[in-house]
């Protein structure tokens, strides 16, 4: 029997409330489809740990993860410390050290969910945002100057490399070729005159290798409007780190709730473990009350199974998500219901 070594990092707030339901789902599927999952839990890698010991994870944390087949993460972040410290103390080192250069965020409007967008009809909105995940606007190049004086300044450089942009574009084009064959590239080459024209040139260049994919490019501002006005026109949307981050939250909101949206941080070359996590954060406003929607974490676990070679098990999960939303009115509060996390999970497991 195949056995997969999984690292579990619940993190902070509702991160720790949504991972156990995802683990229950994984165990059901392992039994059904005949694979084993061995978990190593890193329960204290969190803001609590940072506030106590000055680091989100131990000094050899990355080495502890290196031999795992995949990482399932809840969320990190606490109102008691700055967000850039928690993000750069755990998530970003994992993404960068393990060269998880593709961030994949699928968006679907399920039957039984009321999208806040009138034109977002179930079954018609089904696309994927492919976000560049290790370079671009989120760079450490830059600095602060004249701190505390009236002429204080901050400079931050965006870094776009031919290798880095090319590999994420290739992943996006290949994904579009397997799906409906349409790719949209997010740009802003009218305003950002160096990096974005470079991005656009590489899109045009790579498109030649994927003649079966039709593609276009949209400026990020116009694209944001189109996500709301015509969300059903997209198949694969490829974007730089910052643009992809913003677009995927917008898309998750169009789909009905950020509580459902999943994400995969992929190392497609499989030299290192990939990491799977819901799009949402630690939600301090509802943490500790047992009312978080576990679907984002459950769907992320399904993406992990797909990556580990269990596409059939992953489909069981997305089918059960569709079923629980279409056939029952059991909903957590973010979707207008009153079910607790555990009540919702129980209904979900019955349908699974």
What are the catalytic residues? Answer: 138, 188, 221, 245, 249
Task: Report residue 88 as tokens.
Answer: 């750069």
Question: Measured between alpha carbons, how far is residue 331 from residues 88, 114, 338, 341 in Å?
Answer: 34, 12, 6, 9
Contact pattern for Mg ion over residues 198 through 237, marking x by CB under 5 A: ----------------------------------------
Q: Which does 14 bind (CB under 5 to 8 A by kind): ligand NAI, Mg ion, none?
A: ligand NAI
State which of positions 322-341 bind ligand NAI (CB under 6 A).
332, 334
Q: Which does 280 bind (CB under 5 to 8 A by kind): Mg ion, ligand NAI, none?
A: ligand NAI
**Alpha helices of the chain — where are they, by DSSP H?**
15-33, 47-53, 61-66, 83-86, 92-97, 162-178, 195-207, 220-229, 241-254, 295-307, 311-327, 341-351
Of the candidate spans 37-45, 51-59, 75-83, 123-131, the one that interacts with ligand NAI by CB under 6 A turns out to be 75-83
Of the candidate spans 21-29, 123-131, 175-183, 280-288, the one that interacts with ligand NAI by CB under 6 A turns out to be 280-288
Residue in 12, 235, 245, 334 binding Mg ion, rule: CB under 5 A: 245
CB 176 → ligand NAI: shortest distance, Å?
Answer: 26
Is residue 276 within 8 Å of residue 262, measured between CB atoms? Answer: yes
Q: How far apart are CA 91 and CA 95, in angstroms?
A: 6
CB 144 → ligand NAI: shortest distance, Å?
Answer: 21
Is residue 111 within 8 Å of residue 322, measured between CB atoms? Answer: yes
Q: How far apart are CA 73 and CA 79, in angstroms?
A: 19
Is residue 252 within 8 Å of residue 279, measured between CB atoms? Answer: yes
CB 344 → ligand NAI: shortest distance, Å?
Answer: 10
Residues that bind ligand NAI (CB under 6 A): 14, 18, 75-78, 83, 91, 258-259, 277, 280-286, 292-293, 296, 332, 334
């Amino acid at each position: 029997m195949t056995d997969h070594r999984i690292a579990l990092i619940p993190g902070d707030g509702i991160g720790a409330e949504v991972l156990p339901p995802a683990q229950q789902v994984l165990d059901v599927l392992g039994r059904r489809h005949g694979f084993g999952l061995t978990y190593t839990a890193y329960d204290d890698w969190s803001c609590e740990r940072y506030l106590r010991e000055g680091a989100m994870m131990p000094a050899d944390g990355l080495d502890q993860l290196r031999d795992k087949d995949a990482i399932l993460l809840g969320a990190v972040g606490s109102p008691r410390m700055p967000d850039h410290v928690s993000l750069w103390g755990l998530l970003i080192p994992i993404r960068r050290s393990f060269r998880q250069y593709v961030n994949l965020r699928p968006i679907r409007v399920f039957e039984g969910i009321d999208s806040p967008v009138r034109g977002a009809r179930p079954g018609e909105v089904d696309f994927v945002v492919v976000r560049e995940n290790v370079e671009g606007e989120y760079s450490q190049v830059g600095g602060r100057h004249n701190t505390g004086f009236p002429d204080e300044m901050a400079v931050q450089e965006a870094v776009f490399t031919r290798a880095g942009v090319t590999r994420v574009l290739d992943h996006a084009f290949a994904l579009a070729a397997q799906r409906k064959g349409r790719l949209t590239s997010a740009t802003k080459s009218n305003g950002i005159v160096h990096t974005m024209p470079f991005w656009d040139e590489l899109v045009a260049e790579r498109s030649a290798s994927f003649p079966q994919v039709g593609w276009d490019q949209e400026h990020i501002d116009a694209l944001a409007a189109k996500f709301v006005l015509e969300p059903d026109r997209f198949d694969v949307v490829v974007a730089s780190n910052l643009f992809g981050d913003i677009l995927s939250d917008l898309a998750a909101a169009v789909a009905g709730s950020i509580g459902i949206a999943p994400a995969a941080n992929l190392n497609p070359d499989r030299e290192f473990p990939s990491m799977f996590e819901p799009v949402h954060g630690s939600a301090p406003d509802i943490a500790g009350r047992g009312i978080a929607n576990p679907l984002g974490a459950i769907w992320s676990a399904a993406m992990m199974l797909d990556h580990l070679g269990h596409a059939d098990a992953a489909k069981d999960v997305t089918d059960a998500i569709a079923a629980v939303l279409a056939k029952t009115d059991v909903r957590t509060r973010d979707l207008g219901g009153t079910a607790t996390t555990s009540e919702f999970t129980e209904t979900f497991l019955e349908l699974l």
